[in-house]
Amino acid sequence: MTPTHPPIPVTPDDLSLGWLIAALESSGSDSTIQPIGMTKSSIGEGLSASGVLTRLNLKYESPQPDAVSTLIVKMPMHPSNPNGASVRKQGAYPREIRFYRELAAECPLVTPEFYYGRHDPDSGDAVLIIEDLASSRPGDNAVGCSDDEALEIIGELGKLHAHFWEANDRADLHWLRGDGFSDRIAKIFELRWPDGRSAMADKVPEELFALGERYFEDSGLLKWIDEPPVTLRHGDFRLDNMYFSDGDSRPITFADFQRIGVGRGVTDFAVFALSALSVDQRRAIENDLLDTYHRRLVDGGVEHYSNDDLWFDYRRSVGFVAIRTLVAMLIFTDSASNRNDAMLRTTTAVEDLKAIDALG
């Protein structure tokens, strides 16, 4: 029997106790969540450039010690908002919902518990209900992390990539390939660069601007990302999407799977290294991080991918991060409060690793 779903909410005002109960009942996700009351609060105000996060505080008639007290509801911004319209076109929400439904259970990473998700392909409206991680310490790119935390994070990333290695051979991942990641980013760049290049010239170093001009003329610079060996990429592997349980045995929890895809895994590594680590920290532990990542690949059964292969892909991935940075600036003109520091990290890594040379 096909479950009856409640209407997809468009704004937090559409969230009610009746809607929540109907959503949970239609998904069959957790019959123990039977609240008699609910209050709402907005979270992450100003932190997300494309979505709206709402915390639901639940009230029970006879609460149990392990009862779920809060839930997080995630939905795109209203379609009248330019960023809300953009994220609808990108298919970010259906990707994340499908990840939780089909892949989270086998994913080596610890992820938030999934309760409900639904997407309307015609309107782009979507809603996702997941576990509230408020009791954990959120990662923060502006604050950074310790060397030990960085090594642990990269070790977990290696496990993820090893598990899904040679993803092209898995029929259950074909839905993630589509046109390929390099084609998607090229289309965005082709659309935005002509109008944004004049403003960009005053915001980025000359070397990165020249790379943008080169990429506009030859989008094939990133084709290698979609070529084997490929794996499941998180797509936005930043500290901001990680939660730490200090003093607890629970491992790091990883969230925000809107940009998952199939491609070269080391692009995730580069995104983390250039967003979470200071220039000095990256230089100091870069070798250890790459060694840790490679060991996890080998431990997970990966063959025929040498340390030399990894280093070359890492250098190319630093070039990819530079282009990714330009794309983000073209799309989200008012986001990234620590952009100056992020730009320094990117340009320094490009120079240190001769990343543009590695792109060919």
> Nearest 5°: phi and psi at 129?
-115, 125
pLDDT value at residue 357: 95
223-254 residue pLDDT tens: 999 999 999 999 999 999 999 988 766 789 99
Q: Which residue has the higher pLDDT, 83 or 123?
A: 123
In the 3-class helix/strand/coil scheme, how is 39-96 assigned residue by residue? EEEEECCCCCCCEEEEEEEEECCCCCCCCCCEEEEEEECCCCCHHHHHHHHHCHHHHH
Tokens 């598990």 correspond to 163
pLDDT value at residue 65: 79
Q: Which residue has the higher pLDDT, 329 or 56?
A: 56
124-175 residue pLDDT tens: 999 999 999 999 999 999 999 999 999 999 999 999 999 999 998 999 999 9
In this predicted structure, the answer to whether residue 46 has a pLDDT above a threshold of 60 is: no
pLDDT value at residue 201: 84
Percentage of the chain modeled with pLDDT above 70: 91
Alpha-carbon span 353 to 90, nearest angstrom = 31
pLDDT value at residue 360: 86
Alpha-carbon span 145 to 276, nearest angstrom = 7
- And the tokens for 100? 């939780």
Is there a contact between 189 and 219 (Cβ–Cβ < 8 Å)? Answer: yes
pLDDT value at residue 63: 74
> Nearest 5°: phi and psi at 297?
-60, -50
pLDDT value at residue 303: 97
Q: Which residue has the higher pLDDT, 81 or 203?
A: 203
- And the tokens for 164? 């899904």
pLDDT value at residue 67: 86
Alpha-carbon span 19 to 7, nearest angstrom = 8
Average pLDDT, whole number, for the chain? 90
Q: Which residue has the higher pLDDT, 199 or 354?
A: 354
pLDDT value at residue 118: 96
Mean pLDDT of 48-68: 85
pLDDT value at residue 30: 60
Walk me through the domains of the chain, giving residue ranges and CATH numbers: 12-131 (3.30.200), 137-358 (3.90.1200.10)
